Structure 1
Amino acid sequence: NRNRALRARNIFNVEPQPQPNFVRNEYGGTLGGPIVRNRTFFFGGYQGRKLRQSSTVTTTVPVDAWKAGDFSGVAGLIIYDPNTGNPNGTGRTPLAGNLVPAARIHPIASKLNPQIARPNQPSLLSNLIVNTPFKYDGNSYDGRVDHVFNDNTRGFAKFNFSDYRVLSEAALGNTIGQSTLSTPYTVTAIVNLSRNFSPTLLGEFRAGYNRYYTNVNGLDMTTVTNQTLGIRNPNPDPISSTGMARINISGGFEGMGTPVVYPLINADNLFNFINTWNKLSGRHNFKWGVDIHRNRMDRFQPQGLNFGPRGMFNFNPGTTALSGGPGLGAFGQFGNSFAAYMLGATDQTSRTYMPITPTNRQTQLFLFFHDTYQVSSKLTLDLGLRWERSPPITPRYAGGASNDDPNTNSLLIAGFGENDLGNNVKTDWNNFGPRIGFSYRMGSKSVVRGGYGVSFYTGRFGFTGGTLSTQFPVLYNIQNGVENDFVVTGTFGELPPVPDIPLPPNGVINPAPNQAFFVVPTDYPSPHVHSYNLTYQREISAGMAWDVGYVGSLGRRIPYQRQLNAALPGTGSAGRPFFVQFGRTANVDLRANGLNNNYNSLQTNLTKRFSRGLQFTAAYTYSKTLGVGDDQGGFIVQTDIRRNYGPTGYDRTHMFVASHVYELPFGTGKPWAKEGAAKWILGDWQLNGVFRKVSGAPFTAVADATPCNCPGNSNFADVVGPAVYSGQAGRGPTWFDIRSFAAPGANRFGNAGRNGLRGPGFFNYDLSLIKNLRFSEKYRVEFRAEAYNLTNTPRWGNPVNNVNNANFGQILGASGEREVQLALRLTF
């Protein structure tokens, strides 16, 4: 059990803000025994978890004056009238007094504004701190039966069923916020048979099944809807149209409406067949086998290039800014964006419609051979080869997927004309992964080990799994905009109409210019990683060993996503390459393999095996990870991906981890308190702990991209001085000298590199105190008191990284407050 009374207060959750709710209970039991003596055995278990907690969230909401249309009195904030000037944003005049006239406040804004939470902090940004509730109920049921057929043959069957109910509420509440309810479940079943065919030959046969089903949707889908707001042209089916359109206002605002990826209804099924063999022959231990996966993906999940089945309206600062003007002030990103919302000046309106439920299939084949060769008493070699065939997933029926051809601006429909069901994406037959390792003993106390291997990323559905089934004709993704960063595009309150597009027999369609699509290259080699290491290990005393080594890897053909229809700075939509060629303004997102990354590290470890009541390990890693982008891309600049090279988001320069198990020296077999009451009180106590100290995570200094006038891109900040760290965290002080960065001028990218700054590191010590009580040979009770982050040291988040944000450089989030858990376990 963990609860609020045993949990420390978040450092940003200060009085009089209430302490967030927190109750966590875990419970369960296991039971096992014989069914048929010495033949058949059973084992069953149940584990349940209930969690009720609230998280302290900091977000930005408009002040009352802004909700009334009054943006006056804010230094550097100028609201320009989008109805004046030229279409490219030049020549605009400011609104008189920075006031939105009451007659021009959009009626949807008038309906929603009263439901937006009011600030509880005295600032214009990051001015709302709330405790958002989270509820989790989970149940897991396990069963297993083992049977011995004879001395050479045995088998088992096991089963697991787990179900969950997860409710996550948003900072803006359940009515207009992005609160969600998820009800997934999983089923796993395995049957295994192993047989010794001879003293040197063992065979194993296994069949498995796994099902993952999930259903996620908005929490409150009836109070505020497109119908009550007067939003026109909704989707016809109630499953995907019930609820409220997504309204995004940039500048730190959480956004209103149901998240665009919901409803998410998935049923993924995996059938697995494995046969492995083990043969001993002289100094060789041979292992070989085959692994076959049959994957089925049945989904009602309008994702991908997705704008939401209820529609989406985006508001950015450009529609109320001046092209070539003084630029956005410290409050302009949110201030100008919220003014655009008040005026109904959208820079993009979009929607998704899904007339077909996608169903996809895939069969994967894996073969391997491995030999452990004892060359001599000093030298052991490990030699292996693995081959993998992981073809692209295909729809079950013709018309269940499509692929965009950017060279001809054509959409190719799977299963029609010359297009196969896989959209002509080729299978990579060259996935041969060698594995080579050695171990060489140098005397009686030293060992040198090394290894090299190639591993392929061929996940159940791969990086592109389902991608081509998330667009026409399965999904209609329609968007109006972005013409350029300053133009008002579309109409707030009116979703773009769904076009009626018949499927031609040749499967080739010329899409409308406002339809967004994915591109997957037909030549799609598998991503892979080359891993290698060389270590030296030395026994420095009885029961204690030290090792040091080099560990590295090279990632090749790493997956990424890139916006191909992004414009160069200063060119607006006229500079979009597919607008120049075909008049196309919508996104063209490429999902391909082709990035590289690298990891290099020095690692050392000191280990003491358990003796005299003590065991410990201490490990240190000094490392560097570099690559182009993170999380399958994540590019700031889309037009030149080389600009995105730098430390990866998960790079940590220094990492030190130590753990210990210590039995207190009291009780039976210990130096003191061996009998009597002292034995019962002081004996059988154990102190365990894990200590971690890790360097900070990298982050990028960015700027608002509106002055760049480069649709499809984000933007770097400008570096104008050295990055000097203050080491101060929390609201008010800045983590680094913000004078070293500035917003870039109009029509250009900033010069800052990706992930050129570092956030705070963290220190953490988890400690557990365990008491074992033995009442007899059959009955034992274990009591545990566990403290997570014993020292209650804040784990600071990274600072606000947008130079246009008034809180630039400040750290406004922290986590990891101390929690204490009490547990009791009965074994009999």
Structure 2
Amino acid sequence: MKSNFLQKVFMTFWIGSLCSLVWGQANVTGGALSGVVRDDSAAVIGNAAVKVKNVETGLTRETTTGEDGTFRLPALPAGVYDVTVSSAGFTELTRRATVLIGQTASVEIVLSTSQVSEAINVTADSSSIVETARTQQSTTVNERAVKDLPVNGRNFLDFIRLTPGINVDPRGGDYSAGGLRGTFNSLLIDGADNNNTFFGQTLGRTGVRAPYQFSQSSVKEFQVNTNSYAAEFGRAGGALVNVITKSGTNEFHGEGFYFFRDNALNANDGFIRSLPSPRNRKPDLRIQQFGGSVGGPIRKDKLFFFFTYDGQRRNDPVVVAPLVPIPTSFSPAVPPDVAQRTIAFLNEQTTPYQLGFNQDVYMGKVDWQINNDNRLSVRYNRQLFKGKNLENSGQIRSVSATGNSNSTTDTVTGQITTVLTPNLINEGRIGFSRDQQLGTANSTSPETIINSPAGNTLVFGRNNFSPRETTERRFQVTNTLTYVRGRHTYKAGFDFIFNRIFNFFPGFFGGSYVFNSYEDFALRRPSGAGATAIVYQQAFAGPNTNGPRSFPNTSEYGWFVQDDWNITNRFKLYYGIRYDAQVKDEPPVLNDDPRLLTLGIRTAGLRQDLNNFAPRLGFSWNLFGDGKTVLRGGYGIFYARTPSIVTGTAHTQNGLSVRTLQFTQAQLATTGLTYPNTFAAPPSGVTPPALQLFFFSPGYVDPMVHQASLGVERELTRDLSLSVSYLFTRGIRLTRTRDINLRQPIPITVNVAGRTPVIIPRYVLAPGSNVTARLTNFLPTPPGTNVSYGRLFQFENTGDSVYHALALQLTKRFSQNFQFLLAYTWSKAIDNRPDQTIVTAGGGDTSRLVADPLNIRTERARADVDIPHRFVLSYVWDLAYARNLQNRPARLLLDGFQLSGIVTATSGSPFSALAGGDLNGDGTPGNDRAPFVGRNTFRRKAFVSFDLRLTRTIPVTERYRIELIAEAFNLFNRFNQSAVQVNQFSFATPGGVPTLTPRADFRSVNGPGVAPRVIQLAAKFVF
């Protein structure tokens, strides 16, 4: 016995040393089971034998009760267990309990002194619906919900939105928790980190372009932790989503499925219907999703396998519709033959094209119960996504102006669980992942932009940032030790994650021309609105640098210790501490321009934030001792990652690694460059434009978040509970990007058509000037240099946020053929507009900058993710009980049907009224608010959607069945606003006088809504 124990200890430390490199988390792939054993006089029974057996896999674990009659079995795989308790002088008794991911199921066993054997009851779940041991705010989405609820696109992560405290983030594919942006969340799959640390999203950028990384058929269940979770979880300040995949069991099970969607079954969008023909036609949309799964025993009770394949074939049409129609003729200045060729060429650029979302996903998993004390699980998943023409498409972009967006991810996770003694359990885990994001270009010609007074009218030629690549490789190892002693459950663990990242982003390396009209293009005459307008730009790699290539690697180190202390059978105290450090590879190139150094700007180096200690505290109080009413609360400090896209930008945008030359019409003429040619090397004798740099502030640190919660949960019936909780989240030191190269503004008068002029601060040298007042323009210029600087973007920690919420959750677990989850959140989110993903000096990124860089206080208002009211109801109703109805017509009508659905109703998202131009003269035209109107003053209309699934099950044999499925998303075809006109004014400077003209279309809908009604049909073969 002693020798066997020493072997186990040796194995544990061998695994620990080998794995001393990932996530230190116990129970991330399962849960725990606890209980109290009493006799029929309510006295506790000590030293009773407790044996649990997994109903599906035969896994067994044993322990004994303490003197207080309690027992606890940690680190159990999620599943259904039979709990058998025996003690001398009492009748052996078996009860059934369900262990869900991240939860501690509790059962109360009452042994009888009767000598008559009691029938074993294994038909009903004996565990309490109220989890008396939980201190954090979390919600579990169970296997039945994942399998049976309707989901548009089969992305199981959409089910995260079923839980309270979760909103949709404005950035596609993300969700918001605690009033924070999506970069603050973390996703675990089978205990392994599944985040793309470069983009700050999930691996494969699920929901952004790729539809999903894991098949819905491979997911067993998951838990959404939204507030005050344990020290074993780190690197997230928002929500932590913990997912486990399915495993094989002692019985063979599987399915084959086919889902089909066609535009003939769908409704048209209300905005599209309002457009003139032919743009008002319902878009063609055809989606096919198909695949299957199979799992079972290789050796009963010992070795199991599970495999899934999931494929999608989808094509979405793009109708190219320039804002200004292609002309049928030009002025006499254009020779007739040139006019004819140009018109024919332009018409070719308006040819419709297809967006392709084609994907194949595979997962294989093996579970091996080596012996009663050792269990090994290995899982491999691959995603192959081919995104045709997804690089930069849209109604004014031709097929030549886009390219393919392809994603390939591979993840491998291995975990071994060793039971050293009944009270000492070790979990070791090794993980590897590779996420490759490739963007291709459909053209080698330079980007060509044709403008009009309305803005960009038609774009063709090479997309200005393709081809590109971002590849992230990760290695992680973890080890966690759990020790149960008396009323304490101690855990300690460590985790290291090593990310090796390659990023290639050649923005404008292929050249970009601008023409002010179709006729200027016909004459090959690059032109703009005014003599200072940029008509051509091209970027080049600096000498002796990596150019647009960067390697923003990170190494992440973490450890934790914690204790669950059951002070009494009614009161539990949780306390722990976690340490996290994200060590970033520092930007290697120093721009030693004395003017920058004088301002304290150093483009090389980065302060490493190595003091991130995060205490956690929580409690749960079984108020009346009956397990039906629990008061729980907690507090914790959390640290979030800095996305490596921020670090990578500082690696290249230092004024030396990448140099972008910009030319006015007159400057371009002096070089002799003609359309469509590009420079092979930087031309000599050219005065470079003002450089724009990105760099870290000297004291930059990782974001910090405080979380606190207090709530009460009450069992209403055995299978129904109600919880009401207060949630608090406070974000400090949040990342923002800010232009620091500005002098103090001066007040100027702005005319407002039909109204009284207003006085605003403007960053100009004098009223009417178009030159922004830049600090570096006034510092001495070193001899022999002609470099000037424009916007100097600093990554800093001046963002903050606060979130208050009242969360209500009504949960009915599956019984009497019905389950539902109702979640309502009443919340308020306030911030000063932090954002971790502003990394370019133009386009959508700079529109998210603060409106006034030197007066951040004016940004404090409703957050972009502020949704005051959010109601979500999800339900599954199995009508199979109808086969027992005495009424034959009712039996025939209802038997074999299942009804499930999701009802969502939320407040509209907020937006700001904008001035329609660069009103304050800071060089950023897309973020200036209308005078005297605060940020996010207005809201879009409320969002409401009814999603419904109807399933008819047709038995073939006792083991085989066919399921016919019809799903409708947004069943009543409500028009849910998305795009609205946010410009309250049009801004111009006639005669050099800033003037605002009110727009009559302010707040009107100017784009398609969110998902008109979609109907999907499917068939499954299940065994």
Confirm or deny a common fold (TM above 0.5). Answer: yes
Structure 2 contact 662–689 (Cα < 8 Å) conserved: no
Matched, 1:10 2:274: no
Q: Which residue is equivalent to 2:380? A: 159
Alignment map for 1:523-538 (pairs within 5 Å): 523-538=699-714
Alignment map for 1:528-567 (pairs within 5 Å): 528-566=704-742
Q: Which residue is equivalent to 1:73? A: none
CA distance in 1 between counterparts of 2:340 and 2:662 reads 24
Alignment map for 1:380-529 (pairs within 5 Å): 380-394=572-586, 407-408=596-597, 423-443=604-624, 444=626, 445-458=628-641, 461-462=643-644, 464-471=646-653, 475-480=657-662, 514-529=690-705
Matched, 1:602 2:791: no
Paired residue for 1:579, among 777, 783, 786?
777
The one-letter code matched in structure 2 to 1:751 is F
**Residue deviations 1:696-740 (CA, integer Å, cap 9, x gap):** 11111112335654434655354xxxxxxxxxxxxxxxxxxxxxx
CA distance in 1 between counterparts of 2:500 and 2:569 reads 49
Structure 1 contact 387–432 (Cα < 8 Å) conserved: yes
Paired residue for 1:259, among 463, 478, 486?
463
The one-letter code matched in structure 2 to 1:434 is P
Q: Which residue is equivalent to 1:765? A: 946
Q: CA deviation at 1:342?
A: 7.7
Identity %: 25
Paired residue for 1:639, among 854, 868, 874?
854
Q: 1:361 to 1:609 in 2, by over 3 A?
A: closer
CA distance in 2 between counterparts of 1:348 and 1:432 reads 52
Paired residue for 2:309, among 46, 56, 69?
46
Q: Which residue is equivalent to 2:1014? A: 819
Q: CA deviation at 1:275?
A: 0.8
Q: 1:247 to 1:561 in 2, by over 3 A?
A: farther
Q: Which residue is equivalent to 2:354? A: 133
Paired residue for 1:705, among 909, 917, 937?
917
**Residue deviations 1:535-592 (CA, integer Å, cap 9, x gap):** 1222334433222221121111111111223464233435112212256343211112
Matched, 1:212 2:435: yes
**Residue deviations 1:446-501 (CA, integer Å, cap 9, x gap):** 22111111111125x5462312222358732324489xxxx987669687896699
SS in 1 for 2:324: coil
Structure 2 contact 661–688 (Cα < 8 Å) conserved: no
Q: Which residue is equivalent to 2:297? A: 34
Q: 1:283 to 1:573 in 2, by over 3 A?
A: same
Give ranges in structure 1 of 5+ residues lacking alignment: 70-100, 120-127, 227-243, 318-337, 415-422, 502-510, 719-749
Q: CA deviation at 1:256?
A: 1.8
CA distance in 2 between counterparts of 1:405 and 1:196 reads 63
CA distance in 1 between counterparts of 2:811 and 2:479 reads 37
With 134-143 and 567-576 compared, the bigger mean Cα shift is at 567-576
Q: CA deviation at 1:631?
A: 3.1
CA distance in 2 between counterparts of 1:806 and 1:474 reads 46
CA distance in 2 between counterparts of 1:534 and 1:264 reads 47
The one-letter code matched in structure 1 to 2:315 is R
Q: Which residue is equivalent to 2:92? A: none
SS in 1 for 2:691: coil
Matched, 1:808 2:975: no
The one-letter code matched in structure 2 to 1:310 is G
Q: Which residue is equivalent to 2:539? A: 352
Structure 1 contact 435–452 (Cα < 8 Å) conserved: yes
Matched, 1:687 2:687: no
**Residue deviations 1:238-289 (CA, integer Å, cap 9, x gap):** xxxxxx3566778453652433322111221011111111111111111111
The one-letter code matched in structure 1 to 2:648 is G
Alignment map for 1:721-800 (pairs within 5 Å): 750-800=931-981
Q: 1:751 to 1:201 in 2, by over 3 A?
A: same
Structure 1 contact 528–558 (Cα < 8 Å) conserved: yes
Q: CA deviation at 1:409?
A: 6.3
**Residue deviations 1:372-413 (CA, integer Å, cap 9, x gap):** 111112211221211011112247xx65x8798874269999
CA distance in 1 between counterparts of 2:361 and 2:916 reads 47
The one-letter code matched in structure 1 to 2:771 is S
Q: Which residue is equivalent to 1:370? A: 562
SS in 1 for 2:371: coil
CA distance in 1 between counterparts of 2:682 and 2:741 reads 22
SS in 2 for 1:451: strand
Q: 1:609 to 1:425 in 2, by over 3 A?
A: same
SS in 2 for 1:530: strand
Give ranges in structure 2 of 5+ residues lacking alignment: 1-259, 518-524, 746-761, 782-787, 837-847, 987-998
SS in 2 for 1:588: strand
CA distance in 2 between counterparts of 1:768 and 1:361 reads 45
CA RMSD, 1 decimal: 3.8
CA distance in 2 between counterparts of 1:451 and 1:7 reads 47
Matched, 1:181 2:404: yes
SS in 2 for 1:560: strand
CA distance in 1 between counterparts of 2:490 and 2:516 reads 62
Structure 1 contact 565–712 (Cα < 8 Å) conserved: no
Q: CA deviation at 1:523?
A: 2.1
With 690-699 and 10-19 compared, the bigger mean Cα shift is at 10-19
Structure 1 contact 403–412 (Cα < 8 Å) conserved: no
Structure 1 contact 184–213 (Cα < 8 Å) conserved: yes
Structure 1 contact 782–826 (Cα < 8 Å) conserved: yes
With 462-471 and 530-539 compared, the bigger mean Cα shift is at 462-471
**Residue deviations 1:87-144 (CA, integer Å, cap 9, x gap):** xxxxxxxxxxxxxx948x9x9999877655699xxxxxxxx9x986321110011112
CA distance in 2 between counterparts of 1:316 and 1:589 reads 30
Alignment map for 1:234-313 (pairs within 5 Å): 244=447, 251=454, 253=456, 256-257=459-460, 258-302=462-506, 306=507, 308-312=508-512
Structure 1 contact 348–489 (Cα < 8 Å) conserved: no
SS in 2 for 1:589: strand
The one-letter code matched in structure 2 to 1:768 is R
SS in 2 for 1:593: strand
CA distance in 1 between counterparts of 2:969 and 2:649 reads 40
SS in 2 for 1:797: coil
Q: 1:563 to 1:159 in 2, by over 3 A?
A: same
Q: CA deviation at 1:36?
A: 4.2
**Residue deviations 1:504-553 (CA, integer Å, cap 9, x gap):** xxxxxxx9763322111232211021111111222334433222221121
**Residue deviations 1:312-340 (CA, integer Å, cap 9, x gap):** 456899xxxxxxxxxxxxxxxxxxxx996
TM-score, normalising length from structure 1?
Answer: 0.74
CA distance in 1 between counterparts of 2:928 and 2:835 reads 18
CA distance in 1 between counterparts of 2:1011 and 2:718 reads 38
